[in-house]
Amino acid sequence: MTLNIGKEITALQKMTIPDLRQKYTEAFGESTTSRHKQFLIRRIIWRLQANREGGLSDRARQRAKDLAVDSDIRLTAPREIAVSPTDLTSVSTIQLSQDNRLPMSGAIITRQYKGEMIEVRVLPRGFEYAGEVYRTLSAVAKKVTGTHWNGYHFFKLGKKGHAYGRKEG
């Protein structure tokens, strides 16, 4: 009896993942953890073809053996290494900004000024505005306005990073 590949594929595509996993177990004699539908369908079809048509030829099997002899194949599974949870944990320190009015590094401070939205990224050591890095918020405010401003007041940063008064929008 010949295998109608198109019919088998259509039938498998209509199956759910649990049904495909069951079919896989029937075809291979072992269960799978895969939930990838296309992978399961391909493997099942391959196994059905191999079972009905005899699998690899003797010549192909011999060639595979010859290739395996020349390659560096692990013959035994690697031993499990006992790893304690502390070995998986890395400890490092992060440097927080000394001024509690600033948000964390990577945050973006915004301010509407003369119809333009000003966006400044907080860096570990400085501030980035328009592709340039500035040491202080006051330097950014001066660049934007052309006059000296206290950077915290210009960007309305109060205690612990909260804005003064109303929100900009």
Range scoring the smallest mean pLDDT among 25-39, 69-83, 101-115, 120-134: 69-83
Give CA–CA dist 52/47, Å, rounded.
9
Helix ranges (H only) for 4-79 are 5-13, 17-28, 37-53, 58-70
Q: Please indicate whether residue 72 or residue 168 has the higher confidence score (pLDDT).
A: 72
Assigned token pair, 168: 């900009």
Place of tokens 């073809």: 49
Average pLDDT score over residue span 76-103? 69
The residue among 113, 40, 90 whose CA lies nearest residue 31 is: 40
pLDDT digits (tens, 9 = 90+) for 105-136: 889 999 999 999 999 999 988 999 999 999 99
